[in-house]
Amino acid sequence: MKKTISEIQLKYTPINKQDRIKIKDSQSVFNVLLDNWNMDTIDLLEEFKILLLNRANEVLGIHTVSKGGINATVVDIRLLLVVALKSASSSIILVHNHPSGNLKPSESDKKLFNKIKKATTYLDIQILDNLIITRDDYYSFADSGSI
């Protein structure tokens, strides 16, 4: 009896070039994120998202990698990389919120960033920034010299 195997299909539909937003600095990243974040939950639960960019730093899309609890969220780096690869992103910007309002990166934030940075290096995907956001402000790893 012949056994069939499911075919894995990948699909990505980019937005029109004239509709793309160009990222110029951390403030423009923060503005784009606030426009695309659920403001009803930003102070309630931690979420981790990636902003996907092409070589010209134009936004290809945003993807929610994980949603967690009040203090943390679990990020599976393999799933993050799948999205970056499927969208043919040249670079990414990592973002998560701190419901507590504290913008200071925790030790686990720093460790996760270093793990993701190491993994993306092998795939030639550049991390342009890593933002921690709240409703009113943000912390940029790039602006602070931590990248």
Question: Which residue is listed with tokens 């599976």?
Answer: 76
The answer to whether residue 33 sits within a structural domain is yes
Nearest 5 degrees, angle CA 82-CA 87-CA 92? 80
The answer to whether residue 146 sits within a structural domain is no
pLDDT 10s digits, 102-120: 999 999 999 999 999 999 9
The answer to whether residue 3 sits within a structural domain is no
Residue-number span of the structural domain to which 49 is assigned: 19-140
The answer to whether residue 13 sits within a structural domain is no
CATH code assigned at 59? 3.40.140.10
Non-local CB neighbours of 78 within 8 Å, separated by 6+ positions:
none
Number of domains composing the chain: 1
The answer to whether residue 53 sits within a structural domain is yes
pLDDT 10s digits, 7-58: 767 666 767 777 889 999 999 999 999 999 999 999 999 999 999 999 999 9
